[in-house]
Structure 1
Amino acid sequence: TTMGIEMKEGSTQNKELVESFSIMMERIANDAACSTMGLGFLARTPSYYKALRHLRNFMNKLIEKNANNNISSSSSEPWAKGEEAMNSFLDTALNYYCRGHLKKEDVIIESIGLIGASFETVATAIYSVLVMLAMHPDVQENLFRETYALFPQKNIEVTYDHLKQAPYLDMVVAETLRLMPSIPIIGRQAIRKARLTSEIDLSPNMQVIVPIFSLHRSKTWWGQQAHLFNPNNFTPENIAKRNPYVYMPFSKGARNCIGWRYAEIAVRVSVMVLVWNLKFSTSFKYEDLHFVDHISLCYDVEPKLQVELRKK
């Protein structure tokens, strides 16, 4: 959807594309860890460069294929031809490319970055929601009832207005992202001297790590049962009395995730459709969940889910 590409089941090209992104994300995570010791080059293996070449070649061919069919470079504004002509990120990027505002290299880099930052994180968030629903059947049933009330008909087509009418869905997704944020750790650099506490000062250019995963499970902010799944943490009353900076699955401030809104909508629409059609269960225990360090959240052992069609 981001690039306007139709993903066909069993396609060799799509399989290679996903594998290349997976390799690149894994190597970037290793690079980030090794770079703290000046050893980032160890992560740049032949497989990394092979994956990067594949992605660049793929994007180059995609740009060449679509450039001539895209929005005319004579358009004074990128949205001049309306939404029908601007239905993906690639359309927008190619519009600026055709008008001379971006070089082809810029389009390739931005496209790879956008897909790399979105496909794995959104997929992880959707999977995590389904795992929580499978482990908490009462929550799953409440969510199904809310969804069915919005779509009593057989075929459903979710719109943005529907999402505004699903408060329990918001609570479930938010609580999942609290316990399992797709990006568990972020880094920042201090731009000026700042005092955090009476004992801690930050110097200019100091590197700062924000442990989102640990912050979201802090008993100081979330109570003695902070480690447990509880959508009621996100009732309007509980949100109002809580410091807004203790929940930051997409970071906070001027450098927060540029795609946070896209991610939230993608996760909510996917979960809504899945829960309306399917019922999820698992024998995996919540207390047996363990996670490993990565750029995006990874499960040490991914719980297997049993899926069955809902009978309505």
Structure 2
Amino acid sequence: MNLILAILCLVVLATYYLWSRRDFYKFFAKFPGPLGYPLIGIAHKMRHKEDLLSLFGSYIKDYGTTLVTWLGPLPLLIVSDPQVTQDILNSPHCVNKSLMYKIFDDAGGKGLLSLEDPVWTEHRKMLNPAFGHKVLLSFFPIFNDETAILLKEFDKMADGRETDILPCLQHFTLSIATQTTMGTCVKEEPSFKNSSLIAHVEWLQECVADFVLSPWFNFRIIRQLLGREEHYFRSKTQIRSFIRKLVDKKLSRDIQDKTTGNKNFFLNLAVEHLKRGSFDRENVENESIIIVLGAFETSSKTLANTLMLLAMFPEYQEKAFDEILALFPNAGDFSVSYEDTQQMVYMDLVLRECMRLIAPVPVVVRQASKDVRLSNGVCMPKGTQILIDIFHMHRSKDIWGPEADSFNPDHFLPHNFQEKHPYAYIPFTKGLRNCIGWRYGILSMKVTLAKLVRNYKFSTSFNYKHLQFIDNITIKLATTPLLKLERRI
């Protein structure tokens, strides 16, 4: 009886809410889309991240590139149209992340990833100098030193057998991320050496992806009842403990030595705001977690995916090799400068094509904090949840032509790309809330790819058409292809 009363109360409250927001119905009438079930909409179909991208793909095929459905009692606008995407990403009323992102506040703390405006704008302005041009140039010695070490690790894998290169790249990018943002080398840290930190990051990401799609996991009691709390809590605690230790080291050095070096170095900058009172200690830790994890996680996967695609398409690998060979005729380690990266024209095409096909973050979700009028004249009501499907927009045959699903760096040749809509390609998103470290990521990856492509030939027995993609916050492959490495001379 109590259960029946609870359900009836829920139905009454939901009905009242929807009646009071009749603007939602008017908006829904403007676009096609699946209705789903009463009260839950299509929430039941979004429970499994393994099927999410194929679900959105089927909706786009059936209803077009802009469609509306229901996510519980809220309308969900699913967008893979460049113009509507531009409307949203440039609107000051669509800066906030969706309600679906609330779990990020618990997992990593409130930082640039999930903060709401106007606090997000304040933090972004304070932290922007950490990724200024002069700061990025100062990172090149670290990029070069770490890639020299990476070559030695890859030498060990060049034994004629196929191997998984991702774990090696994860250690490499994590080491670079901690040095370039936190000013600390972590190679002697036990959690780095035994890979437990990376394992905790991967588990936390798995949990967050599941929890985003199942909002009831925002309640700790639910996580406990379903056996998900203990491992999740341990992972987020270990990650915070790791970052806290790096922050403590920085604060201790500041007390002992007043020379802080580059004041725009990320952690230096955050600590300066702590001293001024514009940040508290929790802000420093939260932003550090977001920056470090964001820097290493997306870079390692993009590097692995780029080498995988070059292995699958050897004709493009040879073109990239020829360009790098002309710049660096001698095999082995060599120093790569910023000027060198600007001459890597074809490597730039390769990297961009990889991020088109395998977008680092395939889906981003925002919400409207006020009514927003789109360029097509439709008024999107306050409270609308907005899902931007980058993955399928990057693979649209209407935008990229009949071979949109295939790897071909020529897609980004000037005569092929210059007529594309400016928001047809957004691997780091775009607009008011784009990725703060996108230039950092591009430069570090170009230095790394130059040395790896110059020194090794990559091949694989895995067929491109068998790749399956999973939305795991950052993109994930259902099966990781193994690569064979051969030394070049």
TM-score for the superposition, normalised by structure 2: 0.58
Point out the more displaced range, 269-278 or 60-69. 60-69
Residue of structure 1 in register with 2:482 after alignment: 304
- In 1: Cα distance, 2:343 partner to 2:471 partner: 36
Counterpart for residue 255 of structure 1: 433
Check if 1:132 corresponds to 2:309: yes
Q: 2:337 aligns with which of 151, 159, 166?
A: 159
1-structure distance, mates of 2:317, 2:473: 29
Do the aligned partners of 1:73 and 1:95 also contact (CA within 8 Å) in 2? no
Residue of 352, 359, 373 corresponding to 1:194: 373
- DSSP 3-state at the match of 1:258: coil
Instruction: Kindly provide the CA deviation profile for residues 179-216 of structure 1, in whole angstroms up to 9, marking residues without a partner as x.
Output: 00010000111232323647x64212211000000100
Shift of residue 140, structure 1, vs aligned partner = 0.8
* Aligned match for 2:387, one of 209, 212, 222: 209
CA contact (8 A) 2:371 2:379 kept: no
Q: 1:174 to 1:100 in 2, by over 3 A?
A: same
More displaced 10-residue stretch of structure 1: 245-254 or 63-72: 63-72
Shift of 1:49: 1.2
Gaps of 5+ in 2: 1-178
d(CA) in 2 for partners of 1:31, 1:246: 29
Distance in 2, matches of 1:248 and 1:218, equals: 13
Give the counterpart of 2:213 among 30, 33, 44: 33
Task: Tell which deviates more after alignment, 222-231 or 259-268.
Answer: 259-268
Runs of at least 5 residues in structure 1 that lack an aligned partner in the other structure: 76-80
How many corresponding residue pairs? 300
SS in structure 1 opposite 2:485? strand
- The amino acid across from 1:116 in the alignment is L
Distance 1:114 1:151, change over 3 A: same
User: Is the CA contact 2:204–2:235 (under 8 Å) kept in the aligned structure 1?
Assistant: yes
Between Structure 1 and Structure 2, the one with more helix by share is: 2
**Which position in structure 2 is the counterpart of 1:78?**
none
Superposed, 1:106-185 pairs within 5 Å as 106-154=283-331, 155-185=333-363
- 1:194-246, CA deviations, whole angstroms, 9 ceiling, x for partnerless residues? 23647x64212211000000100111111111101110110112221111111
Distance across 2 between alignment mates of 1:303 and 1:23: 21
Work out the CA distance in 2 between the residues paired with 1:66 and 1:219. 50
**Counterpart amino acid of residue 374 in structure 2:** R
User: Which is further off, 131-140 or 25-34?
Assistant: 25-34
Counterpart Cα distance in 2 of 1:29 and 1:204: 25
| Structural mapping, 1:9-88, within 5 Å | 12-14=190-192, 15-35=195-215, 38-41=216-219, 42=222, 45-70=229-254, 83=262, 88=265
Please give the alpha-carbon distance, in whole angstroms, between the structure 2 residues aligned to 1:74 and 1:205: 48
State the Cα deviation string for residues 165-186 of structure 1 (Å, max 9, x = none).
Answer: 1110110000000000010000
Question: Any idea what SS the aligned residue of 1:130 has?
Answer: helix
Counterparts of residues 204-243 of structure 1 (less than 5 Å): 204-243=382-421
* Equivalent residue in structure 1 for 2:266, among 62, 68, 89: 89
Normalising by structure 1, we get a TM-score of 0.88
Residue 103 of structure 1 deviates from its aligned partner by 2.1
Give the superposed CA RMSD: 2.3
> Is contact 1:70–1:91 with CA below 8 Å preserved after alignment?
no
- 1:102 CA drift (Å): 2.6
Alpha-carbon deviation of 1:52?
1.6
